[in-house]
Amino acid sequence: MFTVDTYSLAVALSVITMICWGSWPNMQKLVSSRWRFELFYWDYVLGIVLVTLLFAFTIGTAGNQGWSFMQDIQQTSSENILSAVTGGVIFNAANILFVAAIAVAGMSVAFPVGAGFGLVLGVVTNYIAFPQGNKTFLFAGVLMVMVAILLSAVAYKRLSNTKNEISLKGILLSVVAGVLFGFFYRFIAAAMYPDFTDPQPGKAGPYTATVLFGVGVLLSNFLLNTLLMKKPVQGMPVGYADYFNGSRRDHLMGVLGGMIWGAGLVLSILSAGQAGFAISFGLGQGNAMIAAVWGVFVWREFKLAPPDTNRLLYAMFLFYIIGLILIVYAKI
């Protein structure tokens, strides 16, 4: 199987993860206006499962390093299978709330708040379990991201003068999603052996762990998304029949969105072999900055805000960048 053998490559792949995780919601923006995100989400989940299997049966099987995917999944213990699947369940609960927050409040708000809280909790929990890197630089980077979150909240407060009800609902959804995001990665990491070039019996390799994660997302979706369809955050309830009335484009955008996010997850997990789980997760969570760029400059979500709000947004970008640089430097 393919593994990452240098820290510079791990950082490069983490940057790609950041772009993937910050860009997939654009697929939701490209579906028809009548296509509800609860219906979009079924295809999104299918996309995650498909891309993890694609990686597993290609670069996860080729080569002589470590175990191939099929060998690895057959020897993984039930305890570690459950851990990776649980990571998928937790992520799914977080992401359903997160997609709801995007629909209610927009990308440039949901990402900085939700992903920001997820970053703080995720880095702390993963560092405690696998303390790799200089903790001073690592947590200084986390602090800079927290400042960026506060600046984002202030910017959104200015905008919320025109959308007060949506403001409260969107922020609450983003915070709860962020707390859950902070823990899903830890369950995947717990299922794996930390050195991907040295397989350990009973532990899962990176490709096995991500496939099992996808299984957890898919299985939990039958409960979690069904509940959301019956009790939606916004709008009227929808049924399964509505899903089959979607256009090919609507379904394709959902699958592509899931494949983009899932590809980012696989690259993030592969990067952890050299960077460590805390740093790899932390860099990927720079997706908030990528999403904010899309939301502010492409989708114009802050066009109704007071003119000086741009200063707050630019300051938010600056602190995110400083934070990410410090996180990278923590392992140099």
d(C-alpha 295, C-alpha 240), whole Å: 30
- Token couple for 320: 């995110």
- pLDDT (0 to 100) of residue 100: 78
DSSP codes of every residue in 109-153: HHIIIIIHHHHHHHHHHHHHHS--S-HHHHHHHHHHHHHHHHHHH
Mean pLDDT in order along the chain per 10 residues (332 residues): 94 96 90 91 97 97 88 97 98 88 71 78 92 94 86 74 60 89 95 90 97 98 95 89 96 97 97 94 86 84 83 91 93 84
Q: What residue ranges do the domains of the chain occupy?
A: 7-329
Please say whether the beta carbons of 283 and 137 come within 8 A: no
Of the candidates 36, 82, 77, 60, the one whose C-alpha atom is nearest the C-alpha of residue 208 is 60
Please say whether the beta carbons of 151 and 108 come within 8 A: no
Amino acid present at 180: L
- pLDDT (0 to 100) of residue 287: 82
